[in-house]
Chains A and B, each alone.
Chain A
Amino acid sequence: MDRSASPNEQPTTRGAARKRKRRRTRAVVFVAVAVAAFGAAAAFAAWQVGGGGSGTATAVNAQNLTTSAATTTAALYPGITGANLYLTVNNTNPFPVTITSVNTNGAAVPDAAHASGCVTTGVSYATTATTKTVPANGSLSFTVPSVSMSNASDTGCQGATFTIPVSFTATS
Chain B
Amino acid sequence: MLPADPAWHPRAAVRSGATRAGCRVLLAITAAIVVLISHLGPAGAAWSPISAGSGQSAARSVGLPTATAATATSSSTVNVTWAGPGAASPTPTQYVVQRTAPTAATVCAVAGTTFACQDGGLGPVTTYTYTVEARIGAWSSGPTAGFQATTPAPPAFTVVPTSGPRTAGTAFNVVVTATTDGVTTDTSYVGAHAVTFTGPGASPSGATPSYPATVTFSSGVGVASVTLVAAETSALTVGDGTRTGSATVTVGPAASATLAFSSSTPSCSSGSVTVGAAGSFTSKVTVYDGYGNPAPQTAPISITLSRSPNQGTLNPTSVSVPTNASESSNAFTYTRPPQAAASVTVTAARSGLTSATCSVQK
Q: Measuring CB to CB, which residues of chain A are less than 8 angstroms from any residue of chain B?
A: 1-2, 5-6, 8, 22, 25-26, 28-29, 32-33, 35-36, 39-40, 42-43, 45-47, 49-50, 60, 62, 64-67, 69-70, 72-80, 83-87, 89, 95, 97, 102-103, 105, 108, 120, 122-123, 144, 147, 149-155, 157-172
Q: How far is the CB of A145 from chain B (nearest CB, A)?
A: 10
Interface of A is mostly: mixed
By a CB distance below 8 angstroms, the chain A residues around B30 are: 29, 32-33, 36
Q: How many angstroms between the C-alpha atoms of A1 and B50 in the bound complex? A: 51
By a CB distance below 8 angstroms, the chain A residues around B3 are: none
Q: How many angstroms between the C-alpha atoms of A43 and B255 in the bound complex? A: 134
By a CB distance below 8 angstroms, the chain A residues around B140 are: 155
Contact residue among A6, A85, A95, A168 (Cβ-Cβ distance under 8 Å from B57): A85
B31 at the interface (CB under 8 A from A): yes
Pair A85/B55 contact, Cβ less than 8 Å: yes
B4 at the interface (CB under 8 A from A): no
Pair B51/A66 contact, Cβ less than 8 Å: yes
Contact residue among A32, A76, A169 (Cβ-Cβ distance under 8 Å from B48): A169
Pair B53/A36 contact, Cβ less than 8 Å: no
Q: How far is the CB of B212 from chain A (nearest CB, A)?
A: 64
Residues B37-56 near A (CB distance < 8 A)? 37, 40, 43-56
Q: How many angstroms between the C-alpha atoms of A32 and B36 in the bound complex? A: 13
Q: How many angstroms between the C-alpha atoms of A105 and B51 in the bound complex? A: 10
By a CB distance below 8 angstroms, the chain B residues around A144 are: 55
Q: How many angstroms between the C-alpha atoms of A149 and B61 in the bound complex? A: 13
Q: How far is the CB of B141 from chain A (nearest CB, A)?
A: 9
Pair A74/B48 contact, Cβ less than 8 Å: no
Pair B43/A86 contact, Cβ less than 8 Å: no
> From A71, which residue of chain B is reached at the shortest CB distance?
B56
B314 at the interface (CB under 8 A from A): no
> From A95, which residue of chain B is reached at the shortest CB distance?
B44
By a CB distance below 8 angstroms, the chain A residues around B45 are: 171-172
Residues B240-271 near A (CB distance < 8 A)? none
Q: How far is the CB of A112 from chain B (nearest CB, A)?
A: 14
Q: How far is the CB of A126 from chain B (nearest CB, A)?
A: 12
Contact residue among A22, A49, A147, A149 (Cβ-Cβ distance under 8 Å from B47): A49
Pair A161/B59 contact, Cβ less than 8 Å: yes
Pair A86/B57 contact, Cβ less than 8 Å: yes
Pair B56/A46 contact, Cβ less than 8 Å: no
Pair A39/B43 contact, Cβ less than 8 Å: yes
Q: How many angstroms between the C-alpha atoms of A28 and B30 in the bound complex? A: 10
Pair B51/A65 contact, Cβ less than 8 Å: yes
Pair B26/A33 contact, Cβ less than 8 Å: yes
